[in-house]
Chain A
């Protein structure tokens, strides 16, 4: 569970930063200055990282038995700038509180 959680948190931060670069730097540069180099480079990188982020999020969701709203939040976090950091904190606190639920039959670590 801890390793899964660490993977998710690392990916959340990476995708969050990539999306901010893409939306707040790349897109204005492309449309205001006609310079599309940032979008061309960061766009595909963000796309691929987002897939890895989704996989890590689904892995954590399965292990921690998340509810549907929690999963929707995790999916949206990679699409709306700055949301990744908010959702990451919320999910982390939920898992640490245990309200997302460790499954029966599994001894609690910590």
Chain B
């Protein structure tokens, strides 16, 4: 569970976010002093820099919480230059085979379930839209 926070890749990400996020905040603070001293253009950057800091933290969190299997698979792909992976799961259409039951209402409901399955996976933290 905690191992993913301690891999060399994660360490690199910790280091990066520790430099980038405070750097952005300092830059935002600096722009605020510029803005207050009369350069009103800098108010835009006063807002912008903290946004960058937040984005850096969001990306850091997402990259660390990525599925280790996906990282491994990506490395393999890059090495072999192959575009298909053997670990691909069945497409939703293949999982949900439709069987007619003779009951119209039940068939309609099954059809609805199949369309939900075909639309994609449910929402997760890593995939908040679930429609990839």
Enumerate chain A interface residues (CB-CB to B < 8 A).
1, 39-40, 43-44, 47-48, 50-51, 54-55, 58, 61-63, 65, 67-68, 71, 97-107
Contact = CB atoms under 8 A, between A and B. Distances in A.
Indicate the member of B41, B70, B87 with the most A CB atoms within 10 Å.
Answer: B41
A107 B83 contact: no
B62 interface: yes
B74 A58 contact: no
Interface residues on B, range: 35 or more
Given A101-B77, A103-B70, A107-B91, A40 B132 contact: no
B62 A62 contact: yes
B44 interface: yes
B73 A105 contact: no
Interface stretch (B51-59, B96-104, B107-115): B51-59
B69 to A, nearest CB: 8
Nearest to A107: B91
Interface of B: 9, 12-13, 41, 44-45, 48, 51-52, 55, 58-59, 62-63, 66, 69-70, 73-74, 77-78, 81, 83-85, 87-89, 91-93, 120-121, 126, 132
A40 B59 contact: no
A44 B55 contact: no
B83 A97 contact: yes
A7 B16 CA distance: 27
Contacts of B55: 54-55, 58
